[in-house]
Structures are given as structure tokens and as C-alpha cells.
Amino acid sequence: MITGLAGAPIWSEDLNHLLPFYTMDWKRLKDAGVEFVEDPTDYGNLTIATLKDPEGNLVQLFQSSGAA
């Protein structure tokens, strides 16, 4: 049984194109016009935000707020 996932591969023809995108925090991404499907939402011990990267991949960013 899969109980969690900490990462996933993202494919790109040009890694340098995506590198700046993935090194910005949430506010900077939003201010830069990144489309968020879901703004950061608190789910108890986990905050999740869902966005689209420059190539249309859906990405979820998450932050744990402590042990479950």
C-alpha cells in the first residue's frame, strides 16, 4: 500500500526553463502570475497548494505543520 509520496519526476525539454519557477516561494509565484488551481489550504497537519507550471503540469506543494 502506498502511504505517501515526497516527490515525482517533472519532464522538461529545457530544465533551465523550469528551474527559476521551482525555486520561488508561494507569494512570489502568485505575484508572477502563476495559475493556482488551489491556493494554500490548511488540512490540519498539512498545507497544500496546487498550481500549474509553465508547461501545464499540475504540481502540489505541501508543508507539514507537525507529526500526525
What local confidence, expressed as pLDDT, does residue 6 receive?
66
> Is 2 a member of any domain?
no
> Is 34 a member of any domain?
yes
- Work out how many domains the chain is built from and give that number: 1
> Is 14 a member of any domain?
no
Phi and psi of 36, rounded to 5°? -100, 125
What local confidence, expressed as pLDDT, does residue 24 receive?
67
Paired sense of beta strands 58-64 and 46-52, if any: antiparallel
Residue positions counted in the chain? 68
Helix extents (H) in 1-68: 15-22, 26-31
Residues 59-64: contacts with CB under 8 Å, at least 24 apart: 59/10, 61/26
pTM summary value: 0.63
Q: Quote the domain boundaries for residue 59.
A: 29-68
> Is 45 a member of any domain?
yes
Per-residue pLDDT of 18-56, as tens digits, reads 877 776 678 888 898 999 999 989 999 888 889 998 888
> Is 13 a member of any domain?
no
Given a contact cutoff of 8 angstroms between Cβ atoms, the answer to whether 55 and 18 are in contact is: yes
